[in-house]
Amino acid sequence: MQKIFCRPLAGVASLCLSIAAPLASAATWSDTFLGYRYGTQFREPNNTQDVRKNVLQFTHSSGYAVGQNFLNLDVLQSDKNDPVNGGGSGATEFYLTYRHQLHLGKALDKDLSFGPVKEVALTGGFDLNTKDTRFAPRKRLLVVGPTLKFDVPGFLDVSLLAAREWNHCGLGAPACPQAEISFDTQWMLSAAWGIPFQAGPLPLKFQGFINYIGEKGKDYAGVKTEAETLMRTSLMADLGQLAGSRKNTVWAGVGYELWLNKFGNHATAAGVTKPGINTRAPTLQLEWHF
């Protein structure tokens, strides 16, 4: 795994492009970008210190006749306050998300719109992650459920998903009596949006997502998990269009990450609230669309 963690950005981008290529083969529209975000106030469970992170991002979204695809890979590089296993430098995390929507109205050739909702979809997908800390997580998450697609400029999707997670803990006993765990099925209420608008001559977009994720049973130490909330949002300006170049090429802006009860963590077996379970982190962000 160490060789994978040390690959340069070009190698990561090449891998993601090879994954995204078949998704876009029959696309009626597509958007692909490389992104970067930076923040100094990230937190990790059981860690009392703020963590600085540089995050490289590859995102591909595309639509076809009766649905759409979304794929995102984040490569998160922490500073020494979130150390790699063995110490000496910061940890590296890979987090991959894939979602597919089947648009039921189009698939069934029926008008399923009502009120502000223009379409109803069935969403399915997965999350995968790995991180080279002592904890050594290896998250595998499957999700499925209905999505309401709202009639707004850009997009606004609201989903109610059933989710099931499997993961790993490398700390050993007594911290993790179970190295491998299958969590209980949980519910995820999710909203994702991308709303373009204009402020005078400045083309902007407000984008992001928020997930409210229910508790998932007991953790590795037999402690009951709690519901968690994760929100990442940003306000971005189209610098390329503002400079008189091609629009939707170079975006820059500011963002914010809110993560409460991260990974379902809340308290220890003794009932003491764990440190580092809540993140409130402003970020700087860039996107290059191609």
Q: Nearest 5 degrees, angle CA 235-CA 239-CA 242?
A: 115
Integer distance in angstroms from the first to the last C-alpha of the chain?
30
3 CB-near residues (< 8 Å, 6+ apart): none
List pLDDT tens digits, range 103-119.
999 999 999 999 999 99
Q: Which residue has the higher pLDDT, 1 or 34?
A: 34
Contact criterion met (CB below 8 Å) for 234 and 254: yes
Q: Quick one: which of 279, 85, 230 has its CA closest to 169?
A: 85
- How large is the greatest C-alpha to C-alpha distance in the chain, in angstroms? 61
For residue 45, the 8-state DSSP code is T
Write down the domain spans for the chain.
2-289
Indicate if the pLDDT at residue 6 is higher than 60. Answer: no
* Beta-ladder partners of 100: 69, 124
Q: What pLDDT does 4 receive?
A: 39
Q: Which amino acid is at 113?
A: S
Q: What pLDDT does 269 receive?
A: 78
What are the E-state strand segments in 16-154?
29-42, 51-64, 67-78, 92-103, 117-131, 140-150
* 73 alpha-carbon distance from chain centroid: 8
Indicate if the pLDDT at residue 267 is higher than 80. Answer: yes
Rounded distance between C-alpha atoms, residue 33 and residue 48, angstroms = 34
Cα dihedral 18, 289, 36, 72 sign: negative
Contact criterion met (CB below 8 Å) for 213 and 230: yes
Contact criterion met (CB below 8 Å) for 251 and 206: no
Q: Which residue has the higher pLDDT, 14 or 114?
A: 114
CB neighbours (10 Å) of residue 230? Answer: 19
Q: What pLDDT does 221 receive?
A: 87
Indicate if the pLDDT at residue 157 is higher than 70. Answer: yes
Q: Quick one: which of 155, 69, 144 has its CA closest to 118?
A: 155
List pLDDT tens digits, range 78-96.
999 999 999 889 999 999 9
- pTM for the model stands at 0.89
Rounded distance between C-alpha atoms, residue 12 and residue 96, angstroms = 12
Q: Which residue has the higher pLDDT, 19 or 87?
A: 87
Rounded distance between C-alpha atoms, residue 141 and residue 207, angstroms = 24
User: What backbone torsions phi and psi does residue 262 show, to the nearest 5 degrees?
Assistant: -50, 130
Q: What pLDDT does 278 receive?
A: 98
| Tokens (6 digits) for 59 | 């995102």
DSSP string, 236-281: EEEHHHHTTS-SSSEEEEEEEEEEESGGG--B-TTSPBPTT--EEE
List pLDDT tens digits, range 198-251.
999 999 999 999 999 999 999 988 999 999 999 999 999 999 998 888 899 999
CATH superfamily of 2-289: Nucleoside-specific channel-forming protein, Tsx-like (2.40.230.20)
Rounded distance between C-alpha atoms, residue 254 and residue 125, angstroms = 28
